[in-house]
Amino acid sequence: MTKERDQLNATLLQRSNEVTRLQSLSKKTCPDGWRMFSFSCYLLITESGPWKKAREDCSNRGGYLVVINDDDEQKFVFALSDKSPWIGLSELVDGTAVSSELKKFWGHGKPHNSHGSEDCAQIGRNHKTWNDNKCDHSFPWICEKAPV
């Protein structure tokens, strides 16, 4: 009985902390020009540039290249641009493999790292999936940051 009570108390505390976090986030907003989705702010940059420039630009804006974490965010980000924007996924970042849950976003046969030089990722327009591409190619990009 004591063990069950302790588990319930732990769960209650966890839920209470989550409610507090969500309430604080609900009062926050995005800067002008940024769009809110699921407690993050997003900004489409329509100019084109290589992946490193995109990452640097997002950092200068107080954010980072968008990191897609689930189906809803994938749909939202896809709808932001009619181009094929860079996303914050690169083998150059830290060498960490994409989680198995997110592998479903890769296009058929991707990533394939053609000629060993496609180390950055974008959202491909044709199939609404991720595509690996050469980091020095130019594409628009999407920045993400926390609301303020």
- Give me the tens of pLDDT residue by residue for the chain, a chain 148 residues long: 787 877 877 888 888 877 776 666 567 899 999 999 998 999 999 999 999 999 999 999 999 999 998 899 999 999 999 999 999 875 544 455 555 566 777 767 666 666 666 788 899 877 788 888 899 999 999 999 999 8
The domains of the chain are located at 1-29, 31-145
Please tell me the predicted confidence (pLDDT) of residue 100. Answer: 58
Residue 43 phi/psi, 5-degree rounding, is -135, 125
Residue 105 is classified by DSSP as G
| pTM passes above 0.85 | no
d(CA 77, CA 121): 14
DSSP string, 2-20: HHHHHHHHHHHHHHHHHHH
* Burial (Cβ within 10 Å: 0-12, 13-18, ≥19) of residue 41: buried
For 31-145, give the CATH class: alpha beta
d(CA 123, CA 106): 9
Give CA 31 to chain center in angstroms: 18
Run of H or E including 131: strand 129-133
